[in-house]
Amino acid sequence: MPSKTKLHSLRHCVYRINLHIVFVTKYRRKVITAEILERLEEIFARLCHNQKAVLVEFNGEQDHVHLLIDVPPDLAPSKLVNVLKTISSRTIRKEYASHVAKFYRKPVFWTGAYCVISAGGAPLEVLKKYIQNQESPE
């Protein structure tokens, strides 16, 4: 299937896996400032690098953030999310303690839930048609 997207390769596989991840602040409190958003991007980029992933795109609003991450095939999305949420929460609560304390009494930052969606590549209908149109063996 032709693609304009560059594939990655390891010794035993060729892949391209992109995840769109959304984190929401606890109780959707509008705690994220421009400075915190910038710091979150730095934190997430470093953590992704440590996990052999790449933060492709990042942005957010006062109560949530969006990350587009290029991940290797051996990195479980749940493990990545756990690392990103745990360390970013701890770091932001430490570096912006007085600001975060205006919103939360307990040591929290992100809600327990998250959203992760596979992204990129061909639309599902195109993939379905490609698979259906394979030549049948004789």
In a domain, 70, yes or no: yes
N-term to C-term CA, the chain: 22
CATH number at residue 125: 3.30.70.1290
- Spell 109-133 as b/e; 16+ CB within 10 A means b: bbbeebeeeeeeeeeeeeeeeeeee
**Inside any domain, residue 4:** no
Total domains, the chain = 1
> Does 18 fall in a domain?
yes
- Provide the domain limits for residue 116: 12-132
Q: How confident is the model at residue 2 (pLDDT cuts 50, 70, 90)?
A: very low
The predicted model scores a pTM of 0.89
In a domain, 7, yes or no: no
pLDDT (0 to 100) of residue 4 = 55
Helix (H) or strand (E) holding 66: strand 64-71
SS (H, E, C) 41-58: HHHHHHHHHHCCCEEEEE
Residue 137 domain-assigned (yes or no):
no
Residues 91-119 have pLDDT tens digits of 999 999 999 999 999 999 999 999 999 98
Does the residue 138 lie in any domain? no
Encode pLDDT of 30-81 as tens digits. 999 999 999 999 999 999 999 999 999 999 999 999 999 999 999 999 999 9
